[in-house]
C-alpha cells in the first residue's frame, strides 16, 4: 500500500465516510487520502472526527497490509464506548452514599 496524497478539502458533493459510513454532506470539510494498493488507485474519505479518532488510537500504525478499514474502526469505537460506559457506571456507583458508607 502506498499513500500518494493526504489532505483536507471541502466536499463539492455528498460523500460517505469510509470509516463510519456516515454522510459527509456537501460543503463540509473532510479528510482524504489517495492510495495505491496492488495496482489500484482510490481515494479514502473520512469525517475529520473519524480521522482524529483513528489517529489518536493508532489505527494508521496498527493496520494490516490493506490499511485501516471500517470494520476495525467500528470495533474500536465500540470498545471506546464500552470503556466510557463502564467508567461512568463505576463512578456513579462509587459516588453513591450507601456505597461509601459500607466501606
Residues 17-34: tens digit of each pLDDT: 988 888 999 999 999 999
Residue 10 belongs to domain spanning = 2-101
Question: What's the CATH number where 37 sits?
Answer: 3.30.1740
Task: Name the 3-class secondary structure at 49.
Answer: helix
Higher pLDDT, 1 or 51: 51
pTM for the complete prediction?
Answer: 0.66
Return the closest-CA partner of residue 10 out of 43, 24, 19: 24
pLDDT tens track for 35-52: 898 899 999 999 999 888
What is the total count of domains within the chain?
1
Distances (CA, A) of 76 to 7, 10, 54: 23, 27, 9
The model's confidence at residue 64, banded by pLDDT at 50, 70 and 90, is low
Amino acid at each position: 500500500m502506498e499513500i500518494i496524497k493526504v489532505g483536507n478539502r471541502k466536499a463539492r458533493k455528498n460523500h460517505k465516510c469510509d470509516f463510519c459510513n456516515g454522510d459527509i454532506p456537501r460543503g463540509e470539510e473532510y479528510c482524504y487520502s489517495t492510495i495505491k494498493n496492488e495496482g489500484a488507485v482510490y481515494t479514502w474519505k473520512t469525517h475529520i472526527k473519524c480521522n482524529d479518532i483513528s489517529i489518536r488510537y493508532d489505527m494508521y500504525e496498527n493496520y494490516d497490509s490493506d490499511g485501516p478499514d471500517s470494520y476495525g474502526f467500528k470495533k474500536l469505537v465500540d470498545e471506546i464506548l464500552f470503556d466510557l460506559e463502564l467508567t461512568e457506571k463505576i463512578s456513579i456507583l462509587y459516588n453513591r452514599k450507601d456505597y461509601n458508607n459500607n466501606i
